[in-house]
A and B are shown apart, each in its own frame.
Chain A
Amino acid sequence: MPDLTRRRLLAGLAAATAIPLATGARPASARPLDEVMERGRLRVAVYRDFRPFSFRQDGALVGIDVDLAGAIAEKLGVKLDCYEQLAGETVSDDLRVAVWRGSLFGGELADIMMHVPYDKRFGMMNPEAVLFAPYHHEVFALARDPSRVRSAILATLPDEPIAVEIDSVPDFFLLGMQGGRLRSRIIHCPTPEAAIDKLTAGEAAAVLAPLSQIQAALGPRVAEFPITTLALPGMMTSDWNIGMATKENARDLTYAVGDAVAALTEDGTMAAIFARYGATHTPPPLVE
């Protein structure tokens, strides 16, 4: 019975709307579970340059998502074949390239893609993919220099420079907040780590970014720069679940991987992987 329970919790989201495309050529076939096992290899897509989840360290591909994919492959008894994908304009583009249509430049589809938001409405917008196995709950957070920003209350943020990742929700939120009061004080950075660099260098008084990215980038300096999780009032999603995706025809794979993720969460491996990169694992709420 526990297996069944897990399956109900962890299996795909897109089931109700997984309608085969009526148009055009069928995309190349994904490899469901049997094929993965037969080949002895699990092909996994992760984002390129995405600390602390997937990045290069001394040339090696490492990170939370990479290690988790490795642990899943081990549970399945197959080899990990992990590759980096450049993020597109939205995750819908990434799903198309990684798991269902494939790249215009050819190459193999991924069996699973890591770090895909697990959101029912988002799943319905992408019926060609199945979203499954939520493994982390992400939230936006503020890291601040307490001498310049005395409290972590957005509405009363002082007239001080704040660093954000360009073209992110924190960026849009602060550009629009209170009629744009802080608009000219925003420092736009290519990544959350670069924003944290501005904070620790004293160029910025605070950073607004996803919690795990702030934690990993600050490391031990969190003692100097307190972190507070925050809702961005009204505007848009402030917290969300992170899971995986595969193609809509690979449902048996989602059960096997979902079971592996549940086991890795229960035995503490998941928390240890997050801790390895300086982030705190927060399991997603079990009720949808």
Chain B
Amino acid sequence: MKRLVSTLALTASLAAFSATGALAADGPTSDDLLKSATNTEAVLTYGMGPQAQRFSPLTDLNADSVKKLVPVWSFSFGGEKQRGQEAQPIVYDGTIYVTGSYSRLYAVDARTGHKKWEYNHRLPDGIMPCCDVVNRGAAIYKDKIYFSTLDARLVALNRETGKVVWNKKLAEYKEGYSNTAAPLIVDGKIITGNSGGEFGVIGMVEARDAETGELVWQRPTIEGNMGTLNGKDSTVTGKTNASWPGDMYKTGGGATWLGGTYDPETKTLFFGTGNPAPWNSHLRPGDNLYTSSTLAINPDNGEIKWHYQTTPHDGWDFDGVNEFVSFDLKKDGKVIKAGGKADRNGFFYVIDRNNGKLINASPFVTKITWAKGIDIETGRPIYNDDNRPGAPATGEAHDAKGKSVFSAPAFLGAKNWMPMAYNPQTELFYVPANEWGMDIWNEPITYKKGAAYLGAGFTIKPLYDDYIGALRAVDPKTGKIVWEYKNPAPLWGGVLTTAGNLVFTGTPEGYLKAFDAKSGQEVWKFQTGSGVVGSPVTWKMDGEQYVAVVSGWGGAVPLWGGDVAKLVKDINQGGSLWVFKLPKA
């Protein structure tokens, strides 16, 4: 028996050697990361490729064979610290690196589920992350593995030992900053966004030397603020006071809390920006650039190449952080270097990624009240003016509530953080959407830090009795919905698609599900024991195709969802990594 075990171990290590090459010990290079979308033996980047298409060329698993997909092992994150698990695993050299809630990172043997090491970030007392204690994933480069923490730090660990190599402050947690996004590594620089409280914050994109953690450049996302390069002032973002009155640009919002994507073909970073502050749009006339936008940024120096603002003068807390996914748009016999973005505001945008020009915009949810459509020529929304929440009721009664409007989508978005996928074979995007609206008004009976305050009152409401979540296949050429899968609870997890004509996503009800990518027919499901709000991945190891996903219910819905939160109150919490494979015949 002992002999058998050692033989197996030897086979396994040989397989690992051949799969990742002689340089496995040195870790993935910049070039490996840039080519990670086609590397089926590993999952090296968040988004399964820098463009974040979340597409795997693997075909072993397909709409027929997927019924033989079985769990291999499950790994518990342990402790009492459960809550939302929103991570995407990284897989390299026979090891899975996965982050858990409460700023934890695990290295797990991909074959056995045996824990190699665990890093438990020591969080200071009194931190107040706005939403949940989630983390969305790690980044790997050379001998290190990186992730960001709830106290707004960036930590680099030796990937073999889990020992800290460096630990840098990204922002001051005492001012309400936090960080939950997966870092992005391009040409030796580790690039991060920021997330923070709703006030006094401006969005920032920062590049650091991945070896040392030293800052290389910073790009504020709000017009009028100065960027830096190599420790010196570089250029001002936009034009000061062009779209902001007074000094409001200094605190205008636009946090880049979801991180970014990278397109190696045009050598461009794409970062989405959050909503402007303060929330009531009447107090800040102008477009409020570059909030609720996508910014195209030069990775060498942090200069903005172009911007596209999805919600100018955002008054609904829509935010514009959603990922911009580069893809080749084949239309009228031409191939356009485009990008797709399913915005929180309910429109699916197809944009020329060379110059930011809008190609197409179409709804991917059934109800949008704030705009009639997007003008393709100007790229601007055609607002429904009477759907904008009212100005604070100056001159009205003492406790005037102001105009209450019903607005769809709700501020949690037609699509929130959860990443979509693009399949170059079906030429479809797979978008995890939610159908909900909100009543929103000026709430006079609020207090902040012990003082009277004027907040936004809101109540989120489902639009339909039988479902909120909808996984939709969107044709970027026409904007048409090709198929949809309706889910009772809101969808909150990422999507994966494969050349095997499959689409995977998780549900709060606990399932990891697979669908036929062309027809939308559900072809497989597995109950993981808690809600799935992470992003699944797939790779090939020892000649077999694997799938992994984290399970653990949480995120913003149970905290902010109003009526919707009641629908999901019976879902049990969890915290585990599930690994499946298609066994050899």
Whether both chains belong to one complex is answered with yes
Interface flag for A281 (CB, 8 Å) = no
- Bound-state CA distance A93–B126 (Å) is 13
Place the interface of chain A in its size category.
35 or more
Encode B222-244 as 1/0 by CB contact (under 8 A) with A: 00000000000000000000000
Chain A min CB distance to B373 (Å)? 30
Interface flag for A279 (CB, 8 Å) = no
- Within residues 226 to 282 of chain A, which ones have a CB less than 8 A from any CB in chain B? 233-240, 242
Contact A184-B126, Cβ < 8 Å, known A86-B174, A235-B393: no
The answer to whether B569 and A24 touch across the interface, beta carbons within 8 angstroms, is yes
Chain B residues with Cβ under 8 A from A86's Cβ?
Answer: 126-128, 174, 176
The answer to whether B128 and A169 touch across the interface, beta carbons within 8 angstroms, is no
- Bound-state CA distance A48–B450 (Å) is 12
The answer to whether A107 and B125 touch across the interface, beta carbons within 8 angstroms, is yes
Chain A min CB distance to B248 (Å)? 7
Chain B residues with Cβ under 8 A from A167's Cβ?
Answer: 198-200, 251, 277-278, 448
Interface flag for B197 (CB, 8 Å) = yes
Interface flag for B447 (CB, 8 Å) = yes
Total CB contacts across the A-B interface at under 8 A:
155
Contact A183-B395, Cβ < 8 Å, known A85-B126, A91-B449, A237-B452: no
B569 closest partner in A (C-beta)? A23
The answer to whether B250 and A188 touch across the interface, beta carbons within 8 angstroms, is yes
The answer to whether A90 and B174 touch across the interface, beta carbons within 8 angstroms, is no
The answer to whether A169 and B451 touch across the interface, beta carbons within 8 angstroms, is yes
Chain B min CB distance to A23 (Å)? 5
A/B interface sample: 14 pairs, CB < 8 A:
A47-B449, A86-B174, A89-B455, A117-B450, A138-B451, A166-B200, A167-B278, A168-B451, A169-B451, A185-B246, A234-B394, A234-B396, A234-B400, A237-B398
- Bound-state CA distance A227–B569 (Å) is 51
Checking B176, B283, B396, B447 against A175 with a beta-carbon cut-off of 8 angstroms, the contacting residue is B283
Chain B residues with Cβ under 8 A from A23's Cβ?
Answer: 566, 569
Contact A169-B245, Cβ < 8 Å, known A105-B133, A176-B282, A180-B285: no
The answer to whether B444 and A183 touch across the interface, beta carbons within 8 angstroms, is no
- Within residues 269 to 295 of chain B, which ones have a CB less than 8 A from any CB in chain A? 277-278, 280, 282-285
- Within residues 137 to 192 of chain A, which ones have a CB less than 8 A from any CB in chain B? 138, 140, 166-169, 171-173, 175-177, 180, 183-188, 190
Interface flag for A84 (CB, 8 Å) = yes
Contact A119-B447, Cβ < 8 Å, known A104-B133, A236-B392: yes
Encode A53-66 as 1/0 by CB contact (under 8 A) with B: 10000000000000
- Within residues 442 to 465 of chain B, which ones have a CB less than 8 A from any CB in chain A? 444-455
Checking A88, A173, A175 against B128 with a beta-carbon cut-off of 8 angstroms, the contacting residue is A88
Encode A85-100 as 1/0 by CB contact (under 8 A) with B: 1111111111001000
Checking A89, A106, A121 against B130 with a beta-carbon cut-off of 8 angstroms, the contacting residue is A89
- Bound-state CA distance A276–B67 (Å) is 74
Chain A residues with Cβ under 8 A from B245's Cβ?
Answer: 180, 183-184
Checking A107, A166, A176, A235 against B199 with a beta-carbon cut-off of 8 angstroms, the contacting residue is A166
Chain A residues with Cβ under 8 A from B455's Cβ?
Answer: 89-90
Chain A residues with Cβ under 8 A from B133's Cβ?
Answer: 104-105
Interface flag for B332 (CB, 8 Å) = no
Interface flag for B335 (CB, 8 Å) = no
Chain B residues with Cβ under 8 A from A233's Cβ?
Answer: 394-395
The answer to whether B447 and A234 touch across the interface, beta carbons within 8 angstroms, is no
Interface flag for B25 (CB, 8 Å) = no
Chain B residues with Cβ under 8 A from A173's Cβ?
Answer: 392
Contact A125-B445, Cβ < 8 Å, known A105-B127, A176-B392: yes
The answer to whether B246 and A91 touch across the interface, beta carbons within 8 angstroms, is no
Encode A183-224 as 1/0 by CB contact (under 8 A) with B: 111111010000000000000000000100000000000000
A239 closest partner in B (C-beta)? B452
Interface flag for B397 (CB, 8 Å) = yes
Chain A residues with Cβ under 8 A from B396's Cβ?
Answer: 234
Interface flag for B581 (CB, 8 Å) = no
Binding site for B on A (CB under 8 A): 23-24, 47-50, 53, 83-94, 97, 104-107, 115-117, 119, 121-122, 125, 138, 140, 166-169, 171-173, 175-177, 180, 183-188, 190, 210, 233-240, 242
Contact A90-B247, Cβ < 8 Å, known A166-B199, A167-B199: no
B250 closest partner in A (C-beta)? A188
Specify which of B199, B277, B400 lies most central, judged by the most chain A CB atoms within 10 Å of its CB.
B199
The answer to whether A190 and B200 touch across the interface, beta carbons within 8 angstroms, is yes
The answer to whether B450 and A116 touch across the interface, beta carbons within 8 angstroms, is yes
Checking A48, A83, A97, A235 against B394 with a beta-carbon cut-off of 8 angstroms, the contacting residue is A235
Which 4 residue pairs across A and B have the least CB separation, nearest first?
A167-B199, A237-B452, A184-B246, A87-B449
Specify which of A92, A237, A240 lies most central, judged by the most chain B CB atoms within 10 Å of its CB.
A237
- Within residues 374 to 423 of chain B, which ones have a CB less than 8 A from any CB in chain A? 391-400
- Bound-state CA distance A140–B453 (Å) is 12
Known contacts A116-B450, A167-B251, A187-B247, then 17 further A-B pairs from the complex at CB < 8 Å, ordered by chain A residue: A47-B450, A89-B130, A90-B448, A92-B446, A115-B450, A117-B447, A121-B445, A122-B445, A122-B447, A167-B277, A176-B283, A186-B248, A233-B394, A235-B392, A235-B393, A237-B445, A240-B452
The answer to whether A97 and B128 touch across the interface, beta carbons within 8 angstroms, is yes
Chain B min CB distance to A126 (Å)? 10
Chain B residues with Cβ under 8 A from A85's Cβ?
Answer: 126
- Bound-state CA distance A128–B9 (Å) is 56
Chain B min CB distance to A85 (Å)? 6
